[in-house]
Each structure stands twice: as structure tokens, then as C-alpha cells.
């Protein structure tokens, strides 16, 4: 009753309901805002990100990729030559500092 009395007294302007396009646009804007917040948080976190793989500064690109389990390693035996697969572990057979 209080809200009805306030509306009768103040007589606010009547706004039409959102169209389907406006509602979809509002959803996209909210999603974008969330992604921007997430990106900012990740950028802030990356400034302090140094403890996971400290030995990276001592490795070349191939060794670092292998240590991060991102290096393709050919699986070959004798005459058979297989495809390259992403394999884990240090590339040159030497243990990383985290395995010592």
C-alpha cells in the first residue's frame, strides 16, 4: 500500500519494458564486465607469479617447454616413426631443480 500511495503522490514517469535486444545487450555488457574484472585480477596475480617454476630463467626455450609439459616428443622405435605427442619431463634427460 505504501508503494502504491508513493506512486500516486509522486507520479514517476512510466518507462517501457526492455526489448529482447536490450535485454540481450545488457547480458553481454555484464559478461564483458566480468571478463574485464577477471583479466585485471589475472594481470595483478601475474606480477607476483615467480614461485612455480623458478628454474625457467636457467633453461632454453625447448627445455622450458619440456619441463612445462608442452614439448612435442617424437615416439620412434626402429623403423617405425610415430607422430609427435606432448610429453612430460625434462627434455635432455636431466632432472629439473624441482625433482632434485
- Is the domain of 36 the same as that of 65? no
- Is the domain of 43 the same as that of 74? no
Indicate whether 30 belongs to any domain: yes
Indicate whether 8 belongs to any domain: no
Distance set, CA 42 to CA 10, 34, 35, 38, 79 (Å):
47, 12, 10, 6, 47
How many domains are contained in the chain?
Answer: 2
Return the pLDDT at 74. 64
Return the pLDDT at 53. 64
Indicate whether 67 belongs to any domain: yes
Indicate whether 78 belongs to any domain: yes
> How far is it, in rounded angstroms, from Cα 90 to Cα 41?
31
Return the pLDDT at 41. 93
Cα torsion 84, 86, 88, 90: sign: positive
- Is the domain of 60 the same as that of 45? no
Indicate whether 12 belongs to any domain: no
The parts of the chain modelled with pLDDT lower than 70 are 49-50, 52-56, 71, 73-100
Identify which of 94, 90, 96 has the alpha carbon closest to the alpha carbon of residue 52: 96
Indicate whether 89 belongs to any domain: yes
Domain around 43 = 18-49
- Is the domain of 85 the same as that of 65? yes
Note the pTM of the prediction, 2 decimals: 0.41
Pair 99, 93: CB distance under 8 Å: no
- Residue 78: left (phi > 0), alpha (psi -120 to 50), or beta? left
Amino acid at each position: 500500500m505504501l508503494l502504491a500511495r508513493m506512486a500516486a503522490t509522486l507520479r514517476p514517469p512510466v518507462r517501457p519494458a526492455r526489448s529482447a535486444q536490450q535485454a540481450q545487450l545488457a547480458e553481454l555488457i555484464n559478461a564483458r564486465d566480468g571478463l574485464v574484472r577477471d583479466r585485471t585480477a589475472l594481470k595483478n596475480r601475474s606480477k607476483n607469479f615467480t614461485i612455480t617454476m623458478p628454474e625457467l630463467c636457467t633453461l632454453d626455450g625447448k627445455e622450458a617447454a619440456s619441463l612445462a609439459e608442452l614439448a612435442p616428443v617424437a615416439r620412434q622405435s626402429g623403423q617405425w616413426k610415430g607422430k609427435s605427442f606432448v610429453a612430460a619431463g625434462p627434455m635432455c634427460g636431466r632432472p629439473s631443480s624441482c625433482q632434485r
